[in-house]
C-alpha cells in the first residue's frame, strides 16, 4: 500500500485561529506581529504546534488562551487544512485552521504584540495567513444565512438594530432591521427578554431586547430545497 522509505516523513502540525469579532461596525480579526524571522514584523494568526496529547480543537482552545480569555470565545469550528509544501520556510508544517468568534460586547485584554485589524484592510500578513482570514470570513458570511451563528457575534441581550449592525458588518452590506427581525423570528431564533433599552439623547421609542433562543450552533435552514416529505421549517 505504501512504501515506507519514500512515503512517510515526519512533519510538524500546527493549529491556527482566525478569531473574528465585530468592532466599530466592521468585522475584525485578531493578529499578532511577529518579532522574529521568518516574516518578522508581519502579522500572523494566533496558534502554534500541536502537542502529543491533544486533538486539534483542544489545541487551538489552549493556544488561544495566550491571547484572549477562552470564556470570551463563543464559537470554534474547523475551517480547512492548509498544506502546500512551501507554505512556511524551513521544515514543513501542515496547518489546521479554525474559525473562532467573539461576541461584540467583549473586549479582551490583549498582549502588546497583538491587535485587531479590519478584515477588509489587512496589514501585511505572514505566510498564508491572509488567505486563511478571507476563508474564515466567507464561511461566517455563508453560515449567517442558514444557521443561528449570529448568537456567537451578539451579546446575551440585544436590540434588533444592534443585531442589524452586527449582521451588516459581518456580511459587508446593509441589512434591513425589519426583515432581519422577521426572518429570525419566523425561525424561532429570537426570544424577547421583556426588557427595553433606553433611547439615546435624540429620543425615539425604547427598543425591545431579545436574546437568541439557542447558544450553540444549529442549522436552521437545512434544506434550501429538496426537503424531506412532510418537514416544515
Sequence-separated (6 or more) residues with CB below 8 Å from residue 57: 76, 78, 98
Instruction: Give the shortest CB-151-to-its own copies separation in angstroms.
Output: 15
Task: Report yes or no: 46 and 67 within 8 Å, Cβ to Cβ.
Answer: yes
Does the protein bind DNA through residue 232 (CB under 7 A)? yes
Give the residue from 166, 160, 197, 201 showing the smallest Cα distance to 182.
Answer: 160
Residues 116-175 that bind DNA (CB under 7 A): 159-161
Does the protein bind DNA through residue 182 (CB under 7 A)? yes
Task: Report yes or no: 209 and 193 within 8 Å, Cβ to Cβ.
Answer: yes
The binder of DNA chosen from 38, 123, 188, 204 (CB under 7 A): 204
Residues 71-90 that bind its own copies (CB under 8 A): 78, 80-81, 83-85
Task: Report yes or no: 183 and 160 within 8 Å, Cβ to Cβ.
Answer: no
Task: Report yes or no: 122 and 133 within 8 Å, Cβ to Cβ.
Answer: yes
Does the protein bind DNA through residue 221 (CB under 7 A)? yes
- x-or-dash pattern for DNA, window 77-116, by CB under 7 A? ----------------------------------------
The DSSP secondary structure of 98-113, one letter per residue, reads EEEE--TT------TT
The binder of DNA chosen from 7, 8, 86, 201 (CB under 7 A): 201
Burial of 120 (0-12, 13-18, 19+ CB in 10 A): exposed
Residues 97-136 that bind its own copies (CB under 8 A): none
Does the protein bind its own copies through residue 38 (CB under 8 A)? no
* Cis amide bond preceding 91, omega within 30: no
Find the part of the chain contacting its own copies (CB under 8 A) among 19-27, 125-133, 203-211, 218-226: 218-226
Does the protein bind its own copies through residue 55 (CB under 8 A)? yes
* Cis amide bond preceding 38, omega within 30: yes
Site for its own copies, rule CB under 8 A:
1-2, 6-13, 48-57, 66, 78, 80-81, 83-85, 92, 94, 96, 142, 144-146, 167, 171, 173-175, 180, 183, 219, 221-229
Amino acid at each position: 500500500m505504501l512504501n515506507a522509505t519514500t512515503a512517510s516523513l515526519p512533519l510538524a502540525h500546527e493549529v491556527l485561529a482566525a478569531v473574528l469579532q465585530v468592532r466599530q461596525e466592521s468585522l475584525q480579526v485578531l493578529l499578532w506581529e511577529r518579532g522574529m524571522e521568518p516574516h518578522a514584523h508581519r502579522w500572523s494568526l494566533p496558534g502554534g504546534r500541536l502537542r502529543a496529547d491533544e486533538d486539534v480543537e483542544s489545541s487551538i482552545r489552549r493556544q488561544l488562551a495566550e491571547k484572549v480569555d477562552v470564556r470570551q470565545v463563543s464559537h470554534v469550528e474547523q475551517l480547512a487544512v492548509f498544506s502546500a509544501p512551501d507554505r512556511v520556510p524551513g521544515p514543513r508544517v501542515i496547518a489546521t485552521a479554525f474559525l473562532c468568534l467573539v461576541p461584540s460586547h467583549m473586549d479582551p485584554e490583549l498582549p502588546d504584540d497583538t491587535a485587531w485589524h479590519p478584515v477588509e484592510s489587512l496589514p501585511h500578513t505572514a505566510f498564508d495567513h491572509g488567505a486563511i482570514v478571507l476563508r474564515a470570513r466567507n464561511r461566517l458570511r455563508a453560515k449567517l444565512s442558514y444557521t443561528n451563528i449570529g448568537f456567537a457575534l451578539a451579546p446575551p441581550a440585544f436590540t434588533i438594530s444592534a443585531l442589524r449592525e452586527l449582521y451588516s458588518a459581518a456580511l459587508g452590506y446593509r441589512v434591513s432591521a425589519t426583515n432581519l427581525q422577521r426572518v429570525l423570528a419566523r425561525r424561532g431564533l429570537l426570544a424577547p427578554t421583556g426588557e427595553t433599552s433606553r433611547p439615546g439623547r435624540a429620543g425615539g421609542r425604547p427598543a425591545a431586547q431579545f436574546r437568541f433562543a439557542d447558544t450553540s450552533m444549529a442549522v436552521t435552514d437545512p434544506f434550501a430545497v429538496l426537503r424531506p416529505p412532510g418537514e416544515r421549517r
